């Protein structure tokens, strides 16, 4: 799921045996430096008003919110037929045929927002593309991460709150959001 950002996926990755690894999806020019993408675990309402966990990729460069077809089908949401061209990386264009509306909610408090989504067959490959030991990040114990299982949304700027912690050079930054704390930035894998 995205929120002026990106993506909602139907994969509930909150129960993960690999609590020592984190999502790293973007490779930089340096061979051992990857960019940690911001994610949040959210709850999203189905057609009956029941809440389901989903992972949201918070992408500040996205101009729309996207939902995977798998999650759309799981939630049994009402869809509206559309014909909307969407331009992606390398000027690749796809035609979106379906949209929907849904309510997402943080897992930490009562914040919720109604959003419109474009439905895609698949949003991204499996994340992470590589893993690393998150114990080296030294995330302060009092910080509640928006995606507690980030290792295995948005009005993006409306989700941001005052509160940012830079832990060290060449490490991700902790950013406070209405969904909880997120991690984003460079990380060395070796």
Q: Are 174 and 143 in contact (CB under 8 A)?
A: yes
Residue 46 placed within a domain: yes
Residue 107 lies in a domain: yes
Q: Does 62 map to a domain?
A: yes
Q: What tens digit of pLDDT does each residue of 44-96 get?
A: 999 999 999 888 888 877 778 999 998 999 999 999 999 999 887 778 888 99
User: Residue 77 domain-assigned?
Assistant: yes
Structural domain contains residue 102:
yes
Q: Give the model confidence (pLDDT) of 115-160 as tens digits.
A: 999 999 888 765 656 666 677 778 888 888 877 666 553 345 567 7
CA distance 141 to 148: 12
Question: Which phi-psi region, left, alpha or beta, contains residue 90 (left: φ > 0; alpha: ψ -120 to 50)?
Answer: left
More confident residue, 5 or 110: 110
Is there a domain that residue 48 lies in? Answer: yes
In total, how many domains does the chain have?
1
> Which residue range is the domain that position 125 belongs to?
7-188
Global model pTM greater than 0.75: no
2 inside domain: no
Segments in the chain forming alpha helices (H): 69-75, 156-159
């Amino acid at each position: 799921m995205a929120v002026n950002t990106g993506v909602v996926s139907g994969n509930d990755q909150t129960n993960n045996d690999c609590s020592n690894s984190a999502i790293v999806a973007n490779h930089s020019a340096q061979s051992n430096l990857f960019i940690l993408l911001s994610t949040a675990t959210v709850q999203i309402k189905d057609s009956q008003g029941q809440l389901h966990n989903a992972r949201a990729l918070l992408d500040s460069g996205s101009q729309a919110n996207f939902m995977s077809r798998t999650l759309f089908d799981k939630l049994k949401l009402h869809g509206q037929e559309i014909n909307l061209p969407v331009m992606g990386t390398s000027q690749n264009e796809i035609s979106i045929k379906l949209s929907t509306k849904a309510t997402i909610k943080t897992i930490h408090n009562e914040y919720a927002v109604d959003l419109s989504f474009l439905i895609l067959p698949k949003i991204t490959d499996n994340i992470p593309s590589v893993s690393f030991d998150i114990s080296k990040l030294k995330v302060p114990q009092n910080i509640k991460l928006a995606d507690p299982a980030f290792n295995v949304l948005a009005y993006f700027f409306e989700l941001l709150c005052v509160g940012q912690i830079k832990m060290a050079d060449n490490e991700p930054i902790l950013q406070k959001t209405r969904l909880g704390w997120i991690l984003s930035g460079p990380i060395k894998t070796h």
